[in-house]
Amino acid sequence: MLTSVPLPQLQLIYLEAFSSFKNVSALLFRPDSTEVKASLVFGQPDPSALEILWALYRKVKASRWLLGHLSLADNSITSDEYNIADLTRETISITFILMRPFLPQLLLPGSQPFILLEKQILQLVTHEVSRFYKANPHDQPLLLFSNVNEWVSIYMEYKFKSPIPTHLRGLASYLAHHITDPTLQKSSMVANGEKAELALYETQLLILGHPFGKALENKTSSESQELRGLLTKWLTSVLKPLHNFGQVVVEEFQQEPLTAKVQAAFFGAAPAQAIIQDCMHRALGFLQETEGLQLEMLIPVLGMPSSRASRGPSHGFMLNLQLTSLHVLVALGAALHFTKKQTPYLS
């Protein structure tokens, strides 16, 4: 009874990942140990131990470290002689924010919003990752969505077929420059622990004489999206001709007094602050003439180029198992180990 608990989950994971998968031939628990061993049977083509490890890793991480009733944590999964540390030599991590309203369904892999956004993200990112490394990653990356101040935060991991130069700098800046989707917040791009190198100009715009309400603070409201769109349109139109221009982001609206927090990003060196301010004032004039919006610029700040973040610790996890057998709940700190058996290919 106890041994059958994670078996269906393992079967489903590997049936989905490998056409050559046959079955889990053994799942062993020791009474004096927290270790769990599974023996997997494959035909041809025969996946590598790291491919077997990756298939499980991406599934349990996407499900917030759950495998059925098993709750997983650091460094516990191995495949033959390989572990998570070996896996990191063939993987990269990428995080960024899309300036789109977050939907709760994005927390559910398989939901329609998740599937649609996943497809869009892979179309945006995968090709550029391949161009940067001059190698094609695995066609099933790890992809997670979360809510960051009502926008969509994205975490990705790509696996390659062999070790890659993860020490190679510049992926974040490359992606920020080459991904042209206007909803990508370029200053949020981080790859392998390194931030995109951008010079940031930040200011607050005081909005006068307009009856905007509390709904502006909600990024998903129509009022917030409409005003954000107008400000972004006119500020971009005057700043875009400047050298190294990257993007304008209206980050948020605040009440009492009503202000808009605005960030302009430039690749590499930014123009002189006086030039940027002159462009901003021209944009505010256009907004008053065409949209009837009266605005004043407050607190302009030209920041230094964003610094490189230190590389984070290698991702991995230990295993804590919660197994239910009949009416007895057993909590174990455990490890999963896999061995692989090969069967002749049957035509």
One domain, residues 146 and 99: yes
> For 62, how many CA atoms within 13 A lie in the half-sphere containing its CB?
20
One domain, residues 94 and 69: no
DSSP string computed for 32-49: T-SEEEEEEEE-SS---H
Q: Is 83 within the bounds of a domain?
A: no
> Residue 107 belongs to a domain with what CATH number?
3.30.70
Q: Give the predicted TM-score (pTM) of the model.
A: 0.83
Q: Is 347 within the bounds of a domain?
A: no
* Structural domain of 16: 2-76+317-342
Query: Can you give the pLDDT at residue 117?
Result: 98
The answer for residues whose C-beta is within 8 angstroms of residue 211's C-beta and 6 or more apart is: none
Q: Is 45 within the bounds of a domain?
A: yes
Report how far residue 235's alpha carbon sits from residue 264's, in angstroms, rounded to the nearest whole number.
9
Query: Can you give the pLDDT at residue 295?
Result: 94
> Residue 40 belongs to a domain with what CATH number?
3.30.460
One domain, residues 301 and 204: yes
One domain, residues 179 and 211: no
User: What are the mean pLDDT values of the chain's consecutive 10-residue runs (347 residues total)?
Assistant: 65 94 82 78 93 92 82 76 91 97 94 97 97 93 96 97 85 97 97 96 90 83 93 97 97 90 94 94 95 88 53 30 25 47 39
* Overall domain count for the chain: 3
Residue 44 tokens, joined: 């041809």
Query: Can you give the pLDDT at residue 275?
Result: 95
One domain, residues 167 and 213: no
H runs (alpha helix) in 70-158? 84-88, 112-133
Query: Can you give the pLDDT at residue 333?
Result: 35
Q: Is 310 within the bounds of a domain?
A: no
Report how far residue 65's alpha carbon sits from residue 317's, in angstroms, rounded to the nearest whole number.
9
